[in-house]
């Protein structure tokens, strides 16, 4: 039972810079400590989030401690957070079961048998681009490809962080451009343009970036010839679970159904080939789900933290400040880019950020005669830029978990994600390409 003082105050909440202090606390604690210590594992991301959440709860004013906890747990129980967690659990089960029955090793051997060692980074980047375009989801692409990519990196002594960067960059390519991507759909709808027009405007900005990224990965591959590039006999039947997952995903089947079918396929193929029995399969499912524990806890804490930031007026403060800076067409485009980036930093979800920032960006675009397709394109580009680089976003967290490396080891190699920021900024500065 709540008292009068426990009444939610978010409806009358004034925009406040102080509300985003918890995010600053997290970034300073996690990123700065890792850089100073030159050790990406020195400061656990979970501890950094716990500290930021404590600060957010402590600085929330206008309601009792019980009400603050209710707000925090309400953010934890957000539907998007729950959906992510179920995906994490299924992904952990599938990854562990596939590895136990030999699917990872078989797929790695198959890739190495057809792909020259120097072309592995470029080949994986292109694969991630095509799969993400077909699936329309960066998380689904990472779940499907990352275990195999990490296995390839281990088997030929390439940097796992670099290989993971290839996959994350390729995954964000499709997230940004695919016609069935939720970010494409929301960006187009909020700006009132056809998705085909948005795709054309978007593609003209990011296509050169994808080509530059591909060239960089080719050069990296040539400069880092694998130390022990050995191929082994390919067991094609054991590859079936991964093939099923990729085919189902490309066909547009729901990610929950895709992972469930993939888990069932690991049982059938493992028992059928004699590489595992029922109890080994069941044990692998349990270890896979448990292995996602830290990732799940981080996601829950992030949901609660970001809800408090929103409640305290942090997002409103960002929106108000950036909107006031729009004094010309270029400034308006820059403000729209900043609006989506900072909103994304505060929500850790580019879909939610577009839902929040898109309607606010539309009047700015209209005021300065920015074409709807260009506005939608810029919003989507900068949302993918932020989402693909923040270490606490779903994409980076699950890539880190599946690859077994810190997010800070992946970010420097996610060239496509980094370069679309430069391409977007250049497009704003020059006004080109014209719609």
CA distance readout (Å), 100 to 37, 147, 241, 261, 294: 36, 12, 12, 17, 21
**Domains identified in the chain, total number:** 1
The whole-number average pLDDT for the span 333-354 is 84
Measured CA to CA, the distance from residue 191 to residue 322 in angstroms comes to 18
Domain assignment present for residue 131? The answer is yes
Domain assignment present for residue 228? The answer is yes
Residue 238, pLDDT above cutoff 70: yes
Domain assignment present for residue 382? The answer is no
Q: Is 64 helix (H, G, I), strand (E, B) or coil?
A: coil
Domain assignment present for residue 419? The answer is no
Residue 208, pLDDT above cutoff 60: yes
Domain assignment present for residue 165? The answer is yes
Q: Which residues of 203-230 are buried (b: 16+ CB within 10 A; e: fewer)?
A: ebbbeebbeebbebbbebbeebebeeee
Domain assignment present for residue 238? The answer is yes
Domain assignment present for residue 231? The answer is yes
- Return the number of other C-beta atoms located less than 10 Å from residue 369's C-beta: 8
Residue 41, pLDDT above cutoff 80: no
Measured CA to CA, the distance from residue 127 to residue 174 in angstroms comes to 11
The pLDDT of residue 250 is 63
The pLDDT of residue 134 is 64
Confidence of residue 401 (pLDDT cuts 50, 70, 90): confident
Residue 288 belongs to domain spanning: 80-181+195-293
Confidence of residue 423 (pLDDT cuts 50, 70, 90): very high
Measured CA to CA, the distance from residue 241 to residue 196 in angstroms comes to 34
- Condensed to tens digits (0 to 9), the pLDDT of residues 111-130 reads 667 777 778 888 889 888 88
The pLDDT of residue 252 is 66
Q: Which residues of 264-286 are buried (b: 16+ CB within 10 A; e: fewer)?
A: ebbbebbeebebbeeeebeebbe
- Condensed to tens digits (0 to 9), the pLDDT of residues 159-195 reads 899 999 999 999 999 888 887 677 887 888 888 888 7
Transcribe 226-278 into DSSP letters.
-TT-------GGGGHHHHHHHHHHHTT--HHHHHHHHHHHHHHHHHHHTS--H
Domain assignment present for residue 386? The answer is no
- How much of the chain exceeds pLDDT 90, in percent? 24
* Alpha carbon distance, N-terminus to C-terminus of the chain: 56
């Amino acid at each position: 039972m709540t008292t009068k003082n426990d009444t939610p105050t978010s409806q009358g909440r004034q925009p406040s810079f102080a509300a985003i202090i918890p995010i600053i606390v997290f970034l300073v604690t996690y990123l700065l400590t890792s850089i100073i210590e030159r050790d990406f594992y020195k400061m656990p991301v979970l501890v950094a989030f716990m500290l930021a959440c404590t600060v957010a709860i402590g600085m929330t004013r206008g309601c009792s401690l019980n009400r603050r906890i209710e707000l925090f747990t309400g953010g934890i129980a957000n539907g998007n957070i729950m959906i992510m967690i179920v995906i994490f659990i299924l992904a952990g089960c599938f990854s562990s079961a596939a590895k136990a029955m030999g699917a990872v090793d078989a797929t790695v051997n198959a890739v190495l048998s057809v792909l020259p060692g120097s072309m592995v980074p470029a080949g994986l980047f292109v694969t991630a681009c095509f799969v993400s375009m077909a699936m329309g989801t960066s998380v689904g692409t990472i779940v499907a490809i990352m275990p195999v990519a990490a296995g390839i990196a281990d088997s030929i002594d390439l940097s796992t962080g670099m290989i993971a960067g290839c996959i994350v960059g390729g995954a964000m390519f499709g997230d940004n451009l695919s016609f069935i991507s939720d970010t494409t759909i929301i960006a187009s709808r909020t700006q009132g343009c056809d998705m085909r027009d948005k795709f054309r405007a978007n593609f003209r900005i990011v296509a050169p970036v994808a080509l530059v990224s591909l060239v960089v990965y080719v050069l990296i591959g040539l400069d880092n010839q694998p130390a022990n590039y050995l191929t082994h006999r390919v067991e094609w039947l054991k590859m079936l679970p991964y093939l099923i997952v990729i085919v189902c995903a490309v066909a547009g089947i729901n990610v929950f159904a895709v992972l469930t079918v993939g888990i069932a396929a690991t049982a059938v193929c493992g028992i059928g080939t004699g590489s595992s029995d029922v109890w080994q399969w069941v044990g692998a499912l349990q270890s896979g789900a448990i292995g996602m524990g830290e990732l799940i806890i981080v996601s829950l804490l992030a949901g609660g933290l970001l809800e408090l930031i929103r409640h305290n007026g942090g997002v409103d403060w960002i929106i108000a400040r950036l909107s006031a800076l729009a004094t010309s067409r270029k400034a308006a485009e820059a403000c729209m880019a900043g609006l989506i980036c900072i909103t994304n930093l505060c929500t850790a979800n580019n879909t939610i950020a577009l839902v929040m920032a898109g309607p606010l960006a539309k009047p700015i675009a209209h005021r300065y005669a920015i074409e709807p397709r260009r506005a939608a394109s810029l919003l989507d580009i900068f949302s993918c830029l932020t989402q693909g680089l923040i270490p606490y976003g779903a994409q980076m967290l699950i890539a880190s978990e599946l690859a077994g490396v810190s997010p800070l080891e992946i970010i420097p190699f996610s060239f496509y994600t980094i370069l679309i920021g430069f391409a977007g900024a250049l497009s704003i500065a020059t006004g080109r390409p014209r719609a």
